[in-house]
A and B are shown apart, each in its own frame.
Chain A
Amino acid sequence: MATRAFLAVISSSPNRCFITPRMIKNQASAFSSSSSSSALQFQRHSRKPHRISRSFSSETNSSVLQPPDISSLAKTARISLTPAEIEEYEPKIRQVIDWFGQLQQVDVNSVEPAIRADMEGGNLREDAPETFENRDSIRASIPSFDEAYLKVPKVLNKE
């Protein structure tokens, strides 16, 4: 029963990773570089880590990936967290991500990933613009609006 599975996961030691120093360095560089770059560079670097992670999954079990770094995740997700929040969320998130690790045990050789349940092809509609009548209501929801523009503060490049 799944509940027994959780209890097993929770009670076992939190870090069942088999991480060698080389793996840590590779993952760290891949992770930090991808999280601090802009979106474009994110894609450029993504090929390398994929190759690395594939070699991991064959030789190790449970989570060998670096544990989540809450502050950098928050930056990626564009959410500001107070230090108190970071302290509160870190153990909980770590616990859940460790629990996700049990998926590594499943034999998924030659199983197609399912994007969603149904198999119907996309019922796409014609790519033609239509006018929406209730534009005033849309405008009313905009927090900072000036004539025809949405106002936002200046955009600085990331340091």
Chain B
Amino acid sequence: MCSFSIRKSPNSSFIFPKFAPLLVRHCLTLPSLVPILKPPRFRVVASLSGTSWVSQASKEKYGGWALIEDEAPLPHWKSKKKWRNVVITGVGSSLSSRPIVSAASSTIDAATVSPPQSQILSTRRSLLSGETTASEIAKSYLSRIRLTEPQLKCFLHISENVLKDAQEIDARIARGEELGPLAGVFIGVKDNICTEGMPSTAASRILEHYRPPFDATAVKKIKELGGIVVGKTNMDEFGMGSTTEASAFQVTANPWDLTRVPGGSSGGSAAAVAARQCMVSLGSDTGGSVRQPASFCGVVGLKPTYGRVSRFGLMAYASSLDVIGCFGSTVADAGMLLHAISGYDRFDSTSSKQDVPEFQSQFLSVDSFESKPLKGVKVGLIRETLEEGVDCGVRSATQEAASHLEALGCLVTEVSLPSFSLGLPAYYVIASSESSSNLSRYDGVRYGNQVMAEELNKLYECSRGEGFGGEVKMRILMGTYALSAGYYDAYYKRAQQVRTIIRKDFKAALDQNDILISPAAPSAAYKIGEKKDDPLAMYAGDIMTVNVNLAGLPAIVLPCGLVEGGPSGLPVGLQIIGAAFDEEKLLKVSHIFEQTLKGSSFVPPLLPNVA
């Protein structure tokens, strides 16, 4: 019996906050601003230097773009008026006399909210047309980070070179040189991915001041294509956790409700994209660590096929399960980032030599869609994911998503994966075992924090005892147990055999269907501290995602609805699973789904009391 109610706005079938259209047009997308005429109901939380209507005090306190917060329902005159998206050029610390350029206009009406636009493509357009410069965009992002970080705590480290990198892009544009596909794109990188010269700690004290001497292959590719690394995002220590509470340094808050977790282990990356502190970000997914936080934070999380992206430079947690994944505010952004980082790498022998198709051709404009753009696509809804134990809000959002797919022409049937429930224990056996081996390299001798002792074993024991957090130590001990002589057959080998069974079940289901769908998590974001003391309750939240890692398949999570909770509801995500190396189909279906989803735009409410 569900005790919540779904608020329906006239033309949409999903919960949608009344004043969210306003948020859609402003604030958390690229340089878009409040109009000069400051209505009394709006509180400017950051001032734009150079405009006369902002108080001197706030001008000095903040620099850069203005964010607005609407605490009241829209007055009647606003709903009739057309808003203008304004892009301010020439932001500086002194008064600027450059004119305000109107970029676009739209009406605020829940039913006609335009589908989310790719930030990568719109950045490229504005840079090439001269509408704005990379340095201006950089300043806006840096000031937004400065404003929102005290509450959100998404980042462990902000790069010192953001402005410098942006200026380089501007210089390239001025010289008329060709720009890479990620030029001017601001990217957050999860802290377990090595970035040369920038601290990369995997959110652990044992690597507290460690600066890698090399870039991970994924980061190297991003830089080669013009992307700008904004900073390193918070995470659960070494990827072990589902809430980002297990970080040794700070707990990240969910931008939708500051008392709730953003999910884990890539919570910082997801929250940073949700709060528009960066455009896209990299995370890692071993058991759902990209997909579950994407669901909790209302952003798109894309997990590629195992072997699609090189793991060189990703600090290993479970080598047979780890992949690097992408976050974006739209499917197109996540897909374009994935394309940039994919490909065979000679430094990773598990990376695949399969061709990386051109994903961009899937991201057509909604205007060019036929009436039933997904006609003939067979979708399997996994029966075991909608049984008891899943929140009814999540269940109904998933069923609504299935209806939406049917409306687009898909043939949706229920499929059963009988081995589904075995995935969770098998995953935790494999992950603990492999991580106990992978984390043995952190011994305080060649890098990281060292606790000096009289004897070598003592040095290992003390460095690791003091450097690792509680969850990490527990998992290493569990893994050590499972791999001990006499126990290997009973645990690790058995789990490997269960992995074969699960792979076969998925393959059979994907032979009959093009894609499979399920919720991304059994509930929306929990409160901070809710699951901290009960490991099994924490592990239970991964039920929807671990099987996909065991089978090595690609999957995407995109927001499909809101459930009750927090100031404006909490997002829930739909997980779409594809066949191995078939990211193209996955992106095609999810892009069309996203672009045709009526009446919802997943932009979290701005932080109260920021000013």
Using a CB–CB cutoff of 8 Å, the interface residues on chain A facing chain B are 1-6, 10, 27, 30-31, 34-35, 42, 45-46, 49-50, 52-54, 56-57, 63, 65, 68, 70, 73-74, 76-81, 85, 88-89, 92-93, 95-97, 99-100, 102-104, 106, 108, 111-118, 120, 122-125, 132, 134-135, 137-138, 140-144, 150, 152-156, 158
Contacts and interface: CB of A to CB of B under 8 A. Distances in A.
A105 B151 CA distance: 47
B213 A138 contact: yes
Interface in B533-584: 535-536, 539-540, 543, 550-553, 580
Contacts of A74: 461, 477
Contact of A152 (B197, B445, B461): B445
A115 B496 contact: yes
A114 B499 contact: yes
B607 to A, nearest CB: 33
Contact of A118 (B306, B440, B489, B540): B306
A106 B486 contact: no
Q: Which of A3, A73, A88, A137 has the most CB of B within 10 A?
A: A3
Interface in B478-532: 478, 480-482, 484-491, 493-501, 503, 522
A1 B389 contact: yes
B462 A154 contact: no
B171 interface: no
B428 A96 contact: yes
B260 to A, nearest CB: 20
Contacts of A106: 422, 494, 497-498, 501
A81 B482 CA distance: 19
B452 A153 contact: yes
A34 B485 contact: yes
A106 to B, nearest CB: 6
Interface stretch (B47-55, B86-94, B177-185, B346-354): B346-354
B388 interface: yes
Given A45-B485, A95-B536, A137-B211, A77 B452 contact: no
Given A76-B480, A79-B473, A104-B494, A120 B536 contact: no
A46 B493 CA distance: 15
A144 B452 contact: yes
Interface residues of B, number: 98
A120 B305 CA distance: 13
Contacts of A56: 490
B466 to A, nearest CB: 8
A53 B477 contact: no
A54 B493 CA distance: 12
Contacts of A97: 478, 481-482
Given A96-B428, A100-B425, A103-B426, A134 B213 contact: yes
A19 to B, nearest CB: 14
Nearest to A26: B486
Nearest to A3: B389
B498 A118 contact: no
Given A4-B388, A123-B353, A144-B452, A73 B445 contact: no
A1 B497 contact: no
28 contacts: A1-B387, A1-B388, A2-B424, A46-B486, A56-B490, A77-B436, A78-B457, A78-B461, A80-B466, A81-B465, A93-B477, A96-B536, A103-B491, A103-B495, A104-B494, A106-B494, A106-B497, A111-B497, A114-B496, A116-B552, A123-B353, A132-B214, A142-B445, A143-B450, A144-B452, A152-B459, A155-B457, A156-B456
Given A70-B477, A156-B455, A52 B389 contact: no
A96 B447 contact: no
A118 B350 contact: yes
Given A137-B197, A142-B447, 18 more contacts: A3-B388, A4-B388, A34-B484, A45-B485, A77-B440, A77-B480, A79-B465, A80-B461, A93-B481, A100-B428, A100-B429, A113-B496, A113-B497, A134-B213, A137-B212, A140-B211, A150-B446, A154-B456
